[in-house]
Amino acid sequence: MSEFNFNPKEWKTPNTYDNNFSDLPNDSGIYCIVLPTPNYALQKYEYEILYVGSAKNLKVRYNKHEVMRMLTRFYGYVQFYFKTESNYRNVEKSLIKKIQPKYNTQWR
């Protein structure tokens, strides 16, 4: 099993405060719900991927995402990152196997 290093610069986010801001498209793609935690000693953020998913329409999925709302209530703040991808189901399965996010139970 290969290790996956999440780099937020390679993903887009609907967070307007982020440098990689992008409106959510009506396209298919993959997404990660991430818990960013500041590491003050290293002066950077560490990212824990809590959930990986895919959607035929990223904009609709984001607006109706129950896991995102639940994780936001539990952690206080989580971030949604996405990439458009035509082969979204296979990429999602591959990422779940590599990352094994805490809140994904399928395809482990």
For residue 22, tell me if it sits in a domain. Answer: yes
Other residues' Cβ atoms within 10 Å of the Cβ of residue 48 = 15
Whether 3 is covered by a domain: the verdict is no
Residue 70 domain-assigned? yes
Nearest to 53 by CA among 30, 72, 73: 30
Average pLDDT over residues 89-98: 94
pLDDT for res 106: 66
Which residues form the domain of 66?
A: 8-99
Residue 105 lies in a domain: no
pLDDT over 90 percentage in the chain? 81
DSSP letters of 24-45? Answer: PPSS-EEEEEEEEEEETTTTEE
pLDDT of residue 4: 79
User: Does the pTM of the predicted model rise above 0.75?
Assistant: yes
Task: Encode pLDDT of 16-61 as tens digits.
Answer: 777 788 999 999 999 999 999 999 999 999 999 999 999 999 999 9
Domains held by the chain: number: 1
Instruction: Kindly state the average pLDDT of the residues 12-19.
Output: 84
